[in-house]
């Protein structure tokens, strides 16, 4: 890995510039690839006369490889200079966008999205940005990660309308070229800022008693036999799964209760807005209290919000339930990034973070399917929310399964 001196002259700590870079990296990795895909689907359907099921293969592959590809990328980031990994992601994604702009068939589009874009985008996603931020921060690590991951929420707000505007003015092919150039704007800041410090600055260091002892990276066998690995994977995976299942269901749920689709979209917006606040609040809580306390509170709030949705209540109460769910959801990313670093140490951070994300894939991808099957069979969403609330409650109980699993040395204990 490329390292850089952490010694700073009086002024703003360089780590905050790294946080800002990671914010933009996540905004550009999520916005044009994930959140604008709904806009792309409409354009592809018109240009290539393709059906939605075929078009959505590209999005599904991006999701699938984004999860499964995180493990090798995390391990690669432990061995290669981190800026090299990030630059590979930027150049690969930009090249993919440029190739899509020249596509003459939906098959070509799907091949590029399913291979080059899907794999390259991981290299500028949360695994790489969390590695960067975690090496610059220790005392305020979860808060710094929470700030950086707000970039994904900003992407969700900006890129769907921006893409729609660009499509109407310059067409979808030119829009992909614009996004390719936008990705390349990241090259200079990544080159200068995406470096790891030789050591964490003294003002960011935790007391010695709270640090994980330095040592070589743990083996994959040790990682998979660690109770901490599976508790993190299953609890964070449950939060991701409940979120993805809720995202694809809540508008239809509102309509089924007699509200308008606009009111359903407002519930979705409430979840997104309160999750931003939650990222900051739980980042601070994880640093000042304990990441496991922040995790437990987040799980309880998400489950409580879903239970509110199960009741036959007026719209303002459903809106409050959505806000409660969203605020609890804010715990997910800062706690995940912070607790993995605390347990496994920075020497094993890339592989631990990457493999936990890969192992979460079945949960995160099956929950939307379960939501669809239940709603189709019952004609209602009450059971959907109850199932997701039960999943989160089980995850809460799981955090008590192995006493002290979140402590640094607990990672070395085997199942």
All domains of the chain, ordered by start, with CATH?
11-204 (1.20.1250.20), 213-412 (1.20.1250.20)
Ramachandran region, residue 217 (left: φ > 0; alpha: ψ -120 to 50; beta: rest): beta
What angle, 0 to 180 degrees and rounded to 10, lies between the N-to-C axes of helices 126-136 and 141-170? Answer: 140
Task: Please report where in the chains the tokens 């019952």 appear, as a residue.
Answer: 378
* pLDDT tens readout for residues 180-203: 999 999 999 999 999 988 766 666
Number of continuous H segments (helices) and E segments (strands) in the chain? 20, 2
Which residue has tokens 């359903």? 264
pLDDT in tens, 74-91: 999 888 999 999 999 999
Find out whether 5 and 197 touch, Cβ atoms under 8 Å.
yes
Give the CA angle between residues 67, 69, 74 to the nearest 5°: 105
Give the separation between CA 234 and CA 272, rounded to whole angstroms.
Answer: 23
Of 405, 346, 69, the C-alpha closest to 218 is 346
Residue 321 CB-half CA count within 13 A: 22
Of 96, 14, 91, the residue nearest 62 (C-alpha):
96
Listed as ranges, residues in the chain with pLDDT below 50 are 2, 5, 9, 208-211, 410-411, 414-415
Give me the pLDDT at residue 201, please: 63
First and final C-alpha spacing in the chain: 32
| Residue 295 CB burial class (10 angstroms; 0-12, 13-18, ≥19) | buried
> Within 10 A of 390 (CB to CB), how many other CB atoms are there?
13
Beta-carbon-side half-sphere exposure of residue 326 (alpha carbons within 13 Å): 21
| pLDDT at residue 264 in the model | 86
For helices 227-247 and 349-378, angle between their N-to-C axes, nearest 10 degrees? 40
DSSP state of 7: -
The neighbouring-strand residues paired with 3 are 196
Cα–Cα distance measured from residue 58 to residue 367, given in angstroms and rounded to the nearest whole number:
19
d(CA 284, CA 294): 9
Please say whether the dihedral angle defined by the alpha carbons of residues 32, 34, 40 and 44, taken in this order, is positive or negative. positive
Rounded to the nearest 10 degrees, how much is the dihedral formed by the CA atoms of 257, 260, 262, 267?
Answer: -10
**Among 167, 73, 176, 186, residue whose Cα is nearest residue 120:** 73
What pLDDT was estimated at residue 88? 96
Determine the pLDDT at residue 212. 53
How far are the Cα atoms of 48, 246, 255, 321, 380 from residue 315, in angstroms, in the given order? Answer: 41, 17, 11, 10, 17
| pLDDT value, residue 415 | 45
């Amino acid at each position: 890995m490329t390292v850089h001196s952490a010694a700073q002259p009086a002024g703003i700590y360089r780590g905050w510039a790294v946080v800002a870079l990671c914010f933009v990296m996540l905004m550009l990795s999520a916005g044009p690839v994930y959140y604008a895909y709904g806009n792309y689907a409409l354009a592809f359907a018109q240009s290539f006369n393709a059906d939605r099921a075929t078009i959505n293969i590209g999005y599904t592959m991006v999701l699938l490889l984004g999860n499964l590809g995180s493990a090798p990328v995390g391990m690669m980031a432990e061995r290669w200079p981190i800026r090299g990994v990030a630059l590979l992601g930027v150049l690969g994604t930009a090249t993919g966008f440029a190739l899509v702009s020249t596509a003459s068939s939906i098959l070509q589009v799907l091949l590029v999205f399913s291979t080059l874009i899907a794999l390259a985008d991981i290299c500028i996603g949360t695994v790489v940005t969390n590695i960067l931020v975690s090496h610059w921060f220790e005392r305020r690590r979860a808060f710094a990660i929470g700030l950086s991951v707000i970039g994904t929420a900003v992407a969700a707000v900006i890129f769907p309308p921006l893409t729609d505007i660009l499509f109407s003015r310059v067409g979808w092919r030119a829009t992909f070229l614009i996004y390719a150039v936008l990705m390349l704007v990241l090259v200079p800041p990544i080159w200068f800022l995406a470096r790891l410090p030789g050591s964490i600055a003294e003002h960011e260091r935790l007391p010695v008693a709270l640090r994980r002892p330095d040592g070589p990276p743990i083996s994959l066998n040790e990682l998979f036999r660690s109770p901490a690995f599976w508790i993190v994977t299953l609890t964070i995976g449950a939060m991701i799964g409940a979120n993805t299942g809720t995202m694809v269901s809540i508008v239809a749920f509102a309509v089924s209760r007699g509200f308008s689709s606009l009111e359903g979209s407002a519930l979705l917006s409430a979840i997104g807005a309160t999750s931003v606040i939650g990222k900051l609040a739980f980042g601070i809580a994880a640093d000042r209290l304990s990441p496991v306390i922040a995790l437990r509170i987040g799980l309880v709030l998400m489950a409580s919000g879903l239970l509110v949705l199960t009741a036959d209540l007026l719209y303002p109460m459903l809106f409050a339930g959505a806000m409660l769910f969203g605020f609890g959801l804010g715990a997910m990313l800062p706690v995940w990034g912070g607790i993995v670093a605390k347990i496994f140490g920075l020497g094993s951070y890339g592989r631990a973070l990457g493999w936990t994300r890969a192992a979460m894939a079945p949960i995160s991808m099956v929950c939307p399917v379960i939501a669809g099957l239940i709603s189709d069979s019952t004609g209602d969403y009450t059971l959907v929310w109850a199932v997701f609330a039960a999943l989160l409650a089980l995850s809460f109980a799981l955090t008590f399964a192995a006493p002290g699993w979140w402590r640094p040395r607990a990672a070395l204990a085997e199942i």
